[in-house]
Structure 1
Amino acid sequence: MTESLQALGPTRRFATLRTIGALVLREMATTYGRTPGGYLWAILEPVGGVALLTIIFAFTFSSPPIGTNFAIFYATGVIPFMFYNDLAQKISQSLAYSRPLLVYPAVTFFDALIARLITNTLSGVLVAFLVFMGIEISFDTQTQPKLSQIALSLSMATMLALGVGTLNCYLFHAFPLWQKVWGILNRPLFIMSCVFFVFDSISKAFQEWLWYNPLVHVIGQMRHGFYSSYHADYVDVIYVFALSLVLFTTGLALLLRYHRDLLSEM
């Protein structure tokens, strides 16, 4: 473990930044550059999916729980949820994705984690910007977006995805069955994260349990960033960041100890 920590230490300095930069460029090329218009399609596909669902639900539900426009209400729930979910999934596959390069001493699993974090965070932020901007231009949402509050919500989602993704990066490879169990456990998460409703509208008994879902806080913070009248007093930013730090630290410690064993078994 000491040797692994030294590999991440100051001796690598700018070499680490160059390695991460090279991994970011590799991921962009392999993920988005294999087909014509790959970069553009990588952005338009999620934007189109969210936009289509938003339009469908906008015509299905005429009156959202808060505000007057269902499109922006739905988007403020689904965008942070998809942002977290996609980022956590990509980070959890970092070892498998970069395995051919991890045989080189200059490339560590930490470099692979950070490279996937940077690449997919940037693409997620761009998708969020395009969806929100498109809705604001297309509809009279009567919202007052506050960039600082929106950025805080995306930061919370990013840290949570990093924590969950890093821990799962170990668990998925150490216990292959866990990946299937995790997929089953995540199926109701879309409904239980307040995407279609607001936390304040459910019963107190259910609130006591639902509060511990960190995505409830992420989505509540996002809606607070758009609706000036929605204060979201239940949102606990410290809770989300603390939980994310615990998950990330645990996952990182396990990877430091066992990443060589995991790579040899792949």
Structure 2
Amino acid sequence: MDGTLSPVKARRFPTLRAITALLLREMATTYGRSPGGYAWAVLEPVAALAVLSVAFSIAFASPALGSNFPLFYATGYLPFMMYSQLSAKIGQAIRFSKPLLFYPAATYSDALFARWILGVLTHLSIFVIVLTGIVQIFGLTPILNIPALVNAVAMAALLALGVGTLNCFLSSMFPVWEQVWVIVNRPFFIISGVFFLFENMPEPVRALLWFNPLAHVIGEMRRAVYASYDGAFVSPVYVYSVALGSLILGLVFLNRYHRVILNER
């Protein structure tokens, strides 16, 4: 035995090593080498929730559910932000890591999952910090439905992965798609239920809003936080179907065209 690693041992867990390396690179470039980057990741939703709470508390005596404006808007804004920011990050994964993807040790799927894992961990931390802060500051005693809470986060995370993966292919092959998607995606902040309850919408509108998977994600999140909220319209099967369908379609196209994308200048 000369002490050298065999080719089999040297190649053991290459995907895990590649994802870890890409994840560490993401942490350094996205949030910087100081705590300030992570602090802003928390301060951004806090500032948005403060503005929403103050603005709507002037116009309305109470939110559509419960009596606390910050908690109501947090249960809508936080899952929406998780989906929106995470899907956008994944959509740019190949472009961001393109120089590294020419090495055989790293693949396009490594780049996608590295961004997804870091984003999920970051947003989970934001969820805990913001919701705990609201509960402590306002002296609230919510009875959390933990299975529904886990399901809401899982739906938001998987939907972001699916949509982001499909958009990664589309924006890489057709650069104009990135601008088109920004325009198409913009109204979802208004129509996903961040500001209102799905049940409060009139029937013709409600029937159309049901097909928005984000409305189900936010409905599940509110069902997890508000014990009195039923959220009967929520269909996890529909959300997971959209998420997995988008993910499979995106991976199929990326597997077929990733070399074309990487060789473009």
What is the TM-score with the length of structure 1 in the denominator? Answer: 0.91
Distance change in 2, residues 1:12/1:244 (3 Å): farther
Q: Could you report, residue by residue, the CA deviation over 1:184-234 in whole angstroms, capped at 9, with x for unpaired residues? A: 111111110011100001111111111000000000000000111111000
Whole-angstrom CA distance in 1 between matches of 2:64 and 2:46: 24
User: Residues 50 and 70 of structure 2 are in contact (CA less than 8 Å); yes or no, is this contact kept in structure 1?
Assistant: no
Number of paired residues? Answer: 255
Q: Is the 8 A contact 2:42 2:130 kept in 1?
A: no
Which structure 1 segments of 5+ residues have no match?
Answer: 1-10
Structure 1 residue 129: Cα displacement: 1.0
1:95-174 mapped onto 2 (5 Å cutoff): 95-141=94-140, 143-174=142-173
> Are the counterparts in 1 of residues 53 and 73 from structure 2 also a CA contact under 8 Å?
no
The 1-side partners of 2:217 and 2:126 are apart by 17
CA distance in 1 between counterparts of 2:82 and 2:92 reads 16
Offset of residue 54 of structure 1: 4.4
Q: Which residue of 2 aligns with 1:45?
A: 43
Q: Secondary structure at the match of 2:227?
A: coil
Give the aligned partner of residue 61 of structure 2. Answer: 62
> For residue 194 of structure 1, what is the amino acid of its counterpart?
G
**Does 2:244 correspond to 1:245?**
yes
Structure 2 contact 86–160 (Cα < 8 Å) conserved = yes
Match in the other structure for 1:76: 75
Could you tell me how far apart the structure 1 residues matched to 2:41 and 2:216 are? 26
Against the structure 1 CA distance between its residues 32 and 134, is the aligned structure 2 distance closer, same or farther, given a 3 Å change threshold? same
Shift of 1:72: 0.6
Structure showing greater Rg: 2
SS in 1 for 2:187: helix
Report the counterpart of residue 7 of structure 2 in structure 1.
Answer: none
1:8 alignment partner in structure 2: none
2:8 aligned with 1:23, yes or no? no
Q: What's the offset of the Cα at 1:33? A: 2.5
Name the amino acid aligned to 1:216.
Answer: A
Distance 1:245 1:12, change over 3 A: farther
Q: 1:57 touches 1:71 (CA, 8 Å); kept in 2?
A: no
Look up the equivalent residue of 1:147 and give its one-letter code.
I
| Deviation for aligned residue 1:121 | 0.7
Q: Is this contact kept in 2: 1:224–1:231, CA < 8 A?
A: yes
User: Is this contact kept in 2: 1:77–1:222, CA < 8 A?
Assistant: yes
Q: Distance in 2 between matches of 1:146 and 1:13?
A: 40
Report the RMSD for the aligned CA atoms in angstroms: 1.7
Q: Alpha carbons of 1:52 and 1:109: their partners in 2 closer, same or farther (altered >3 Å)?
A: same
User: Within 2, Cα distance between the matches of 1:57 and 1:263?
Assistant: 46
Superposed CA deviations along residues 2-61 of structure 1, whole A, max 9, x for unmatched, are: xxxxxxxxx965111111111111111122234x43354243332432343344245323
With over 3 angstroms needed to count, the CA separation of the structure-2 counterparts of 1:68 and 1:52, relative to structure 1, is: closer
SS in 1 for 2:237: helix
**1:84–1:157 contact (8 Å) kept in structure 2:** yes
2:56 and 2:143 map into 1 onto residues whose CA distance is 20
Deviations 1:120-162 (A, max 9, x none): 1100111111111111111144532222211110100001000
List alignment gaps of at least 5 residues for structure 2: 1-9
**Aligned residue in 1 for 2:6:** none
C-alpha separation in 1, matches of 2:45 and 2:233: 29
Rounded to whole Å, the distance in 2 between the matches of 1:191 and 1:64 is: 16
